[in-house]
Amino acid sequence: LIGHDGHPEVEGTMGQLPGSILLVQNIEDAEAVHVADPEKVAYVTQTTLSLDDTAGIVAVLKRRFPAMPEPPTEDICYATTNRQHSIRRLAEITDLVIVIGAPNSSNSNRLVEVAAVRGTPAHRIQSADELDDGWFAGVETVAITAGASVPEYLVDETVTYLRQRFGAEVMEDPVGEPERVEFPVPKELRETSPA
Residues recognised as catalytic: 9
User: C-alpha angle 177/183/189, rounded to 5°?
Assistant: 180
* C-alpha triplet 44, 181, 185: angle, nearest 5°: 85
Please return the burial class of 67, using the count of CB atoms within 10 Å of its CB with bins 0-12, 13-18 and 19+: exposed
Angle between helix 78-90 and helix 106-117 axes, rounded to 10 deg: 20
Contact 167, 159 (CB under 8 A): no
Rounded CA gap, 56 and 58, in Å? 6
**d(C-alpha 133, C-alpha 25), whole Å:** 36
CA distance 55 to 50: 9
